[in-house]
């Protein structure tokens, strides 16, 4: 029984990826272009689950060693014309882990916005997509 409890606790801790969310500005309050709640699984196409494909921000974050760097901040991982820092509330790329970001998050750095129009018209993502349908 104790092993089961420990296993389940470990599963919950891992599934929430708290260390990743602590490593980006507004990691617990990322704008959600698909709804009114925050985008919890920041590096994934589903706002609530990290079980499907990673979005472009996740790949860039991993390439940066899971650290908020100036390059990661200045990059526009999702190609929507706004830098990751601008979307996450660190437009001047001065945020450090544990500090209060300059602004609230006004975009999702791995989701091209506005969804389906402008620079994102050719991106296959739609809110609520599943699996490969999210990638494009
Ligand atoms: Ca975006």
Sign of CA dihedral 16, 18, 24, 25: positive
pLDDT in tens, 103-123: 999 999 999 999 999 999 998
pLDDT in tens, 53-89: 899 999 999 999 999 999 999 999 999 999 999 999 9
Ligand 1 ion: residues within 5 Å (CB): 78, 80, 107-108, 111, 113
Report CA(8)–ligand 1 centroid distance (Å). Answer: 33
Give the Cα separation of 58 and 24 in Å (integer): 11
The better pLDDT of the pair 52, 95 is held by 95
pLDDT in tens, 8-65: 444 444 444 668 999 999 999 999 999 989 999 999 998 888 766 899 999 999 999 9
Report CA(42)–ligand 1 centroid distance (Å). Answer: 11
Report CA(82)–ligand 1 centroid distance (Å). Answer: 7
Q: Please tell me the predicted confidence (pLDDT) of residue 13.
A: 41
One-character DSSP codes across 74-118: H--TT-SSS-HHHHHT-TTS---TTSPPSS---S-TTS-SSTTSG
Report CA(86)–ligand 1 centroid distance (Å). Answer: 9
Buried b (16+ CB within 10 A) or exposed e, 73-102: bebbbbebebbbbbbbbbbebebeeeeebe
Give the Cα separation of 112 and 100 in Å (integer): 25
Report CA(117)–ligand 1 centroid distance (Å). Answer: 12
């Amino acid at each position: 029984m104790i092993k089961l409890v420990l296993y389940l606790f470990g599963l919950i801790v891992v599934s929430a990826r708290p260390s990743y969310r602590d490593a980006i500005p507004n990691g617990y309050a990322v704008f959600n272009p698909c709804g009114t709640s925050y985008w919890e699984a920041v590096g994934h196409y589903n706002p609530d689950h990290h079980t499907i494909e990673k979005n472009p921000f996740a790949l860039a974050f991993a390439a940066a060693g899971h650290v908020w760097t100036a390059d990661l901040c200045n990059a526009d991982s999702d190609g929507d014309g706004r830098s990751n820092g601008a979307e996450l509330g660190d437009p001047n790329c001065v945020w450090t882990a544990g500090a209060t970001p300059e602004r609230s998050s006004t975009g999702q750095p791995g989701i091209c916005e506005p969804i389906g129009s402008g620079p994102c018209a050719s991106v296959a993502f739609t809110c609520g997509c599943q699996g490969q349908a999210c990638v494009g």
